[in-house]
Structure 1
């Protein structure tokens, strides 16, 4: 469980960027457009990996990034995704965001889906930024590292852990990654968010004939 200090940092970030948290309801509406998903059945608590049996998930579905996303106004929106093996089983899994309205200054909401021979199981979610997500494979578990921007010179860095098909609560610390000589916060940031750990995000393009994915335009 996160300490009181971790929760203070996390709550401070969300107070600065309320849009990051308040858009979760809108994001749920986006995913309601996907076939066979009933998000009202999702337990939004982020579970402890050791309590995998307690997780309530949506039914297994085809690749959810292959269908258009619809916002609350009935318009199609573009999303971000990471296609990467999250649980070290040899299959590419999925981190899938909502549309632009689900993002604040610090980042946005990504749903986590594990791939089992072409069907995807929702296990929870992370908060992240499309240009600041890294993956650290460990023995029998994987850490998803994220950086959430707080101000011009500060933010929080931390990780979610995937183990036994479940995702943990986040563990965060506040850092000040300024490009100054001897800045330890900057060294923490650069040691995590660089190859081979840094993940490459894709952005969707939605047309009448379907959804395609390509490099970020920024």
Structure 2
């Protein structure tokens, strides 16, 4: 029987897998080149949903949240400096910011609770360690990217889309590779992930409607 699939790695595991020093890892996490995450127990948060620009953001009190969240690079840096941080904001990176209400105490995060999600680990490897075979930021054909985003929208409607953009981008890239024969036409995982950051549901439908209205 297969073992359960891991969702994260502890810091020492990351050091061993990448064959880097702990100082290297601290640098990457402190500067946002690799994202650190942690588990938070059930707490009340304010959700800030960000759109393409900050003016599109919406705030609302949320129900209690429990699960994995992303830490800011500044909080990671504080953990490496002092061994802990009293954090007041976390990220379902990069669209959603979870903010601890002012009337509640900050959440204590210690070094032992700092991890790297498997998806962010794989994204880091693809971004920086793929060597000559890597083709950075390959955009692919615009028509293929449009189909990829349409598939993403269908996955949202079916409640199948992953909340984590890195994981969703990997799934969408695999879908595109199955549906388009020429691999050069398929956008890279990094390009798809960047498109998801600014993506708004039904945006392509709205654009089609505007184009039809203009044509009439």
Above 0.5 in TM-score? no
TM-score (norm 2): 0.25
The structure with the greater share of residues assigned to strand is: 1
State which structure, 1 or 2, has the greater radius of gyration over its C-alpha atoms.
2
Greater fraction of residues in helix? 2
